[in-house]
């Protein structure tokens, strides 16, 4: 039977990686090359502080403030700097507007480049061989796996992030949310919509407020 064999091999590999990571950390600390608190602090940054809430605030502001939206689309780097959202893997930002006739989606076929300062670290599917290989060739089929079925009349643009320019999608504002405040809009805006594999639906319960 191959199935149980594969499962136990995989678990062995995982345990092995945990051991090897521990051995590496121990060796580097004992040689005085690194400090433990740097690792702790960086992990904490990306587990707690830097994530898609940043991007959601940008999108909500762009939806409510046409002048900010115009600046965001004209010069993403400068407009994100206004809100303090530049940083590592997001020094040079371009924001792509999704509109009824045009749908943008982002990938990095060569590795996993992703706009960290506004979305945090990427989910596993973004870094998967399946996404990296397929979305440039069959974006519509891939988007369908995310539950997004676009008619052929909508142009699909796939942005392969092969330089240090980082891309973020400005999703369309769903109908029926025009009266919501920025703060009320933020929870509607998902990481998946800001990388282009989802649209944001109109909230079901009336005005979506608490």
Partner 1 sequence: MNGVHDMGGMHGFGPIPIEENEPVFHHEWEGRVYAMPTPVPIPGGFRYALERLDPALYLASSYYERWLQVKIQVMIEAGSFTQVEFDEYLAYYRQNPQAAPPRREDPEAVQRALATIKSPKTKRTEEDIKPAFRLGDAVRTRNMHPTDHTRLPRYARGKRAQIVNYYGVQLFDDATSAGRPDEAQPLYSVRFEGQELWGESAEPNSAVYLDMWESYLEAV
Catalytic hit among 8, 35, 111, 181? 111
Residue whose structure tokens are 């594999």: 197
Site for partner 1 contains 87 (CB under 8 A): yes
In the chain, the N- to C-terminal Cα span, in Å, equals 53
Q: What is the DSSP string of 30-55?
A: HTTS--HHHHHHHHHIIIIISSHHHH
Instruction: For the segment 121-180, give every residue that binds partner 1 (CB under 8 A).
Output: 121, 123-125, 127-134, 136-142, 145-146, 152-165
Helix 52-64 and helix 66-74, axial crossing angle in degrees, nearest 10: 120
Q: Which residues contact 209 (CB under 8 A, 6 or more apart)?
A: 180, 184
To the query of whether residue 108 is one of the catalytic residues in this protein, the response is yes
Pick the closest to residue 108 from 159, 155, 46, 156 (CA basis): 159
By C-beta, is 121 or 176 nearer to partner 1? Answer: 121
Measured distance CA(198)–CA(4) in Å, rounded: 36
Instruction: For the segment 91-110, give every residue that binds partner 1 (CB under 8 A).
Output: 91-92, 94, 109-110
What string marks each residue from 2 to 21 as x (binds partner 1 by CB under 8 A) or -?
Answer: -----------xx--xxxxx
Instruction: For the segment 42-81, give every residue that binds partner 1 (CB under 8 A).
Output: 42-43, 45-47, 50-51, 77
Sole binder of partner 1 in the list 64, 68, 112, 176 (CB under 8 A): 112
Residue whose structure tokens are 């303090």: 84
To the query of whether residue 111 is one of the catalytic residues in this protein, the response is yes
Sole binder of partner 1 in the list 1, 3, 4, 31 (CB under 8 A): 31
* Active-site annotation, residues: 108, 111-113
């Amino acid at each position: 039977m191959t199935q149980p064999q594969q499962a136990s091999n995989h678990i062995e590999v995982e345990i092995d990686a945990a051991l090897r990571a521990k051995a590496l950390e121990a060796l580097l600390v004992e040689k005085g090359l690194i400090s433990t608190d740097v690792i702790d602090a960086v992990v904490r940054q990306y587990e707690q502080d830097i994530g898609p809430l940043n991007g959601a605030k940008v999108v909500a502001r762009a939806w409510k403030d046409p002048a900010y939206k115009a600046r965001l689309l004209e010069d993403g780097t400068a407009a994100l700097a206004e809100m303090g959202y530049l940083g590592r893997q997001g020094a040079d930002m371009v924001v792509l507007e999704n509109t009824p006739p045009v749908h943008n989606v982002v990938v990095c076929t060569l590795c996993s480049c992703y706009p960290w300062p506004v979305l945090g670290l990427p989910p596993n599917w973004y870094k998967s061989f399946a996404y990296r290989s397929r979305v440039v060739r069959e974006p519509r089929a891939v988007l369908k796996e995310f539950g997004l079925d676009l008619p052929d009349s909508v142009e699909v643009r796939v942005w392969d992030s092969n330089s240090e320019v980082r891309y973020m999608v400005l999703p369309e504002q769903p109908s029926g949310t025009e009266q919501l405040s920025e703060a009320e809009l933020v929870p509607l805006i998902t990481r998946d919509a800001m990388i282009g594999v989802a649209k944001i639906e109109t909230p079901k319960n009336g005005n979506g407020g608490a």
